[in-house]
Amino acid sequence: MNLIDWIFLCFTIVSGGLAFLFAMKAQKATVDSSQAQAKAEADIKSERERLLEEARKEAQRLLDRGAKDAESVRKESELKAKDQALLARQEAEKLLTERQNNLEKQEQRIQAKEQGLQSKEENLDKKTQQVDQKAKDLEVLSEKRKAELEKLEAQQAEAKQLVEAQAKRLEEVAGLTREDAKKELISQLEYAAKMDAAKTVRRIEEEALEDAQKKARWTIGAAIQRVASDVVTEQAVSSVQLPSDDLKGRIIGREGRNIRALEKATGCDLIVDDTPESIVVSSFDPIRREVARQAILKLLADGRIHPARIEEVVEKVKVDMDQHLKEIGEAACIELGFPDVHPKLHKLVGRLNYRTSYGQNVLEHTKEVARIAEYMAGEMGADAKLSRRAGLFHDIGKAIDREVEGTHIEIGMQLMQRYGEKEDVIHAMSCHHGDFEPRTVEAMLITAADALSAARPGARREMLETYVKRLEQLEGIANSYKGVQKSFAMQAGREIRILVDAGSVNDDQAYWIAKDVSRRIESEMQYPGQIKVTVMRELRAVEIAR
């Protein structure tokens, strides 16, 4: 069944349905008139014809459109066939070109090989001719050398006879026999040899001494480096005992946010390793280390460990530490019999308890100097109380010398003047390193007491002070850049962390700060191993809802 028949059938069914409807209406209508029935039949017939005509027109229109579509499909197929034929032709031409090129290259290689073989044969012929010529030249040269050798032997025999004649004549002229002349010559050669040997020995001794000094320096440096790690471990590390190993995970926090917050707030490096029930706090600053240790203990006791709580606890511990330092300083002043010391000096004296000089606790050193100076002043009839007071404050500048420019003597003199100490006490404490000429007996006693306390066997170790200076230099280089808020030297000087202002320093500038700091460290400092430079940039937006 084609499309026209199908359309015609559909219209026939539709017309039949309409006829049926009209018939039903005709039946329902109670029209008795036959004229009305005939009219209705005529209307039905005319409507059927009209529908059939429309169906024929629609079928013809669909046939025309189908013919057009078939024609377009045929043309498109022809175009595709032409394109494929063109592509196949191009591919075939390409393969043919490649094969021709390969054949040409092979022909060229074969020709080059043939030319190379010909050139090698020619070279071999030339070399054979050269060898033959050299053999002939060698035969001629050998004959010449043989003649020259015979001539030389004759000349040597003649020279020997002349030498013997000259020797006899010399013996007659000099009055010495040949043996005596030989002894004289040997003695002269022996003297010259001894002088040369002495010079050589002296040079060897000087070189050996120089090499020995170099080796001694190297040995001492190696020993210092070997012992340095033990000293730093003892003096720059604190251990925090934990009730259980489960708390290590809480201190580290999710993705390490808690331990990073602790390190950033305290400036210390926290080491969580396999040591059971223990965390190591590492920092060259004892006060920072103690603040970190106390903060961890308080957080463990409280149980709430998250970054906001960590910052809050660290700030509270810092306030408590200031009060603790004040209490230590006040106790030291009262212990030495000075209850009238200015309250601001109490905190500075307490800070000396967390300050070391060449491995020696500065607060204990000041107490020792005060007592030694008092004893010597009592024996000599000088002012014992003034000596004891000057001994207590002679290193007061070391409490803030890492924060203020200047030597600890200059800083100490300024502090003493600011807080109303007497001029005699200031003068006595200012002379203990020879920076000023002592005018009183008490000043000389402070110098002697300081030397005695430092010279006591086992009192000082220079290694820690060297580390502290190097770490201070690290932080000084980092703090010299614009936009740096804080810097913390960690891992005994093997790492420095730099906090920059996120508003004034972008990511690219933070990268270049790290590069520039590393270059300056390489050019300005001397250190073993390597130093890691980390620049951290963080933006915090804080607002309070009221």
Instruction: Specify the 3-state DSSP secondary structure of 77.
Output: helix
Tokens of 387: 């000596």
According to the model, what pLDDT value does residue 229 have? 46
Give the amino acid at 477.
I
Band the pLDDT of 180: cuts 50, 70, 90. Answer: confident
* Cβ atoms 258, 310 nearer than 8 A: yes
Closest CA to 8 of 66, 54, 63, 67: 54
Per-residue pLDDT, averaged over 406-424, amounts to 88
Class (C level, CATH) for 464-546: alpha beta
According to the model, what pLDDT value does residue 219 have? 57
* Cβ atoms 330, 394 nearer than 8 A: no
Per the DSSP assignment, residues forming a β-bridge with 486 are 499
**Model confidence pLDDT, tens digit, residues 253-296:** 888 888 888 888 888 888 887 777 778 887 777 788 888 888 88
Per-residue pLDDT, averaged over 388-412, amounts to 85
Answer CATH for 237-335 from 3.40.50.1100, 3.20.10.10, 3.30.1370.10, 3.90.1150.10: 3.30.1370.10
Burial call 344-369: b when 16+ CB within 10 Å, e when fewer: ebbbbbbbbbbbbbbbbbbbebbbbb
According to the model, what pLDDT value does residue 8 have? 64
Looking up tokens 């043919």, which residue turns up?
96
**Model confidence pLDDT, tens digit, residues 359-399:** 677 888 888 888 888 888 888 888 889 989 988 888 888 88
Domain covering 352-460: architecture: Orthogonal Bundle (1.10)
**Model confidence pLDDT, tens digit, residues 203-226:** 776 777 777 777 656 655 555 455
* Cβ atoms 226, 463 nearer than 8 A: no
**Pairing of β 532-538 and β 495-501:** parallel
Report the mean per-residue pLDDT for the chain: 79
Q: Is the pLDDT of residue 457 over 60?
A: no
**Pairing of β 360-361 and β 484-490:** unpaired
* Cβ atoms 393, 426 nearer than 8 A: no
* Cβ atoms 513, 497 nearer than 8 A: no
Tell me which of 26 and 223 has the higher pLDDT.
26
Q: Is the pLDDT of residue 515 over 80?
A: yes
Three-state SS string across 84-128, please? HHHHHHHHHHHHHHHHHHHHHHHHHHHHHHHHHHHHHHHHHHHHH
Cα(119)–Cα(490) distance, rounded to whole angstroms? 73
Quote the percentage of the chain above a pLDDT of 70. 82
Band the pLDDT of 462: cuts 50, 70, 90. Answer: very low
Q: Is the pLDDT of residue 521 over 80?
A: yes
Tell me which of 237 and 510 has the higher pLDDT.
510
The DSSP result for 146-157, as a single string, is HHHHHHHHHHHH
**Model confidence pLDDT, tens digit, residues 121-157:** 788 888 888 888 888 888 888 888 888 888 888 888 8
Per the DSSP assignment, residues forming a β-bridge with 495 are 490, 532
pTM attached to this predicted model = 0.42
Q: What are residue 360's phi and psi, to 5 degrees?
A: -100, 130
Looking up tokens 């013996």, which residue turns up?
171
Per-domain residue ranges of the chain: 3-132, 237-335, 352-460, 464-546
Q: What are residue 217's phi and psi, to 5 degrees?
A: -60, -45
Cα(37)–Cα(26) distance, rounded to whole angstroms? 8
Tokens of 445: 């006693």
* Cβ atoms 470, 284 nearer than 8 A: no
What residues contact residue 432 under an 8 Å CB cut-off, 6+ apart?
394, 409, 443, 446, 447, 450
